[in-house]
Amino acid sequence: MKKTSFADYRKIVGDFKDAGVLVIGDLILDEFLWGEVSRISPEAPVPVVWVKTESFMPGGASNVANNLRSLGAKVSLAGVIGDDEHGTILKGELERSGVNVNGVITDGSRPTTLKTRVVAHHQQVVRIDKERVVTLNDRIMSKISSYVKDNIKDLDAIIIEDYGKGVITPKLLSRIIPLAKSGKKIIAVDPKEEHFRYYRGVSVITPNNHEASKAVGFDITDTPTLKKAGTRLLNRLNCSIALITLGEKGMAVFQRGRPMKHIPTVAQEVYDVSGAGDTVIAAYTLSLASGADPVQAAHISNCAAGIVVGKVGIAVVTPEELIERIKAETES
C-alpha cells in the first residue's frame, strides 16, 4: 500500500471546510470556577476555595460540535436543553462558535445538564453535577427525528454522542440510522458502555479500552485480546469500522477482512485528557467525510488528540495546528 504523503493529509484537512456534520446527543454545559485555596474550613476538613473567575464551555455532544467547528466543518447540533439560564448560556456559546443550533429543542420539564468543576491552583478540587436523567418524550423525539429527515440531504456524516442522559434511545436510533443509511451517510458513535446493543448497523464506533472491554465481556490486556475484542465488536454491531482508543498506547483500527492497524500515540506532553475522546470522534469522522480511508483518518485523529491533551482544560484544535502536527509526524 502506498504510504500517505504530507500533501495527501494536507488535502484531506483542507477539505474539512466542505463537509457537513450533524451531532446528535446529550448536551452538557461545563462550568469552571477558578480560584485559590488559602485555608481549611472550620466547619469540615475541606479546603475553602476563593473563586476569582468563572467560565463556561460546551460539553458532551456540544463539545464534539465545537471540535468540528474549530476544525472548519459545517456543523449542526440536535439535542435538548432546559428552559433555564444554563440552556441560554450553552446555546449562546454554540452560536458564537458558528454551530447551527436549529435542532436544539427546549424542554421545560428538565434542567440543562450542568457539570461544575471547582479548580484551585490548576487542580480540580471537586465536580458538581446537576442533571435529570430521563428518556425523551415522544413529542421531542419526533422533533429531533424530523429535523434529521429534513436536513439529511445536506449532510456527509452524523455523529451520535451517547452520555446516557436520555437523548439516545433505541427508538430514536431506529428512526435515524435507516435515514442515514439510505442516504449513504457516515454514522459514527461515541458509545455509552451499557448501550452497545443500540448501535447495530452504524458505520463507525469509537470506544475507549474500558468501554470496549465492557462491551465484549473480557478485559483487553494485550494484543491478542485487543484483536479479539475489535473483531467481536465488528461482528456484533455489523459495523464497518471499530476504532478503539488506548490512551497513552494510541489507538487501534479494525475493518472487516483486514488486519488490525495500531497507531502509536503522538502526544509529547499530557496536561489534561478532558474531552480527548470528543476530539478523536470529531477528527476521525470529519476525515472520513473528507475522503480519508479508515487508517488515514486514524492518523489524523491521533494527531488531533495529541494536540488537545497538551492543552489545559477542555480544548479544541484548529486546522493549522493539525497540519503542523501532521507535518512533523510524516516528515520525522
Q: Which residues have a catalytic role annotated?
A: 278
Query: The cell 446516557 sits on which residue?
Result: 164
Burial class, 154, CB count within 10 angstroms (exposed 0-12 / middle 13-18 / buried 19+): exposed
What is the bridge-based pairing of β-strands 251-255 and 261-263? antiparallel
- Contact between 187 and 179 (Cβ < 8 Å): no
DSSP 115: E
Torsion of CA 163, 255, 328, 62, to 10 degrees: -20
The angle at the Cα of 283, spanning 231 to 11, to the nearest 5 degrees, equals 110
- Contact between 126 and 51 (Cβ < 8 Å): no
- CA 120 to chain centroid: 27
Alpha-carbon distance of 80 to 172, in angstroms, equals 13
Alpha-carbon distance of 260 to 253, in angstroms, equals 6
- Contact between 331 and 7 (Cβ < 8 Å): no
Query: The cell 488490525 sits on which residue?
Result: 260
Alpha-carbon distance of 132 to 112, in angstroms, equals 8
Helices of type H across 116-164: 138-151
Query: The cell 446529550 sits on which residue?
Result: 26
- Contact between 19 and 156 (Cβ < 8 Å): yes
The terminus-to-terminus CA distance of the chain in angstroms comes to: 20
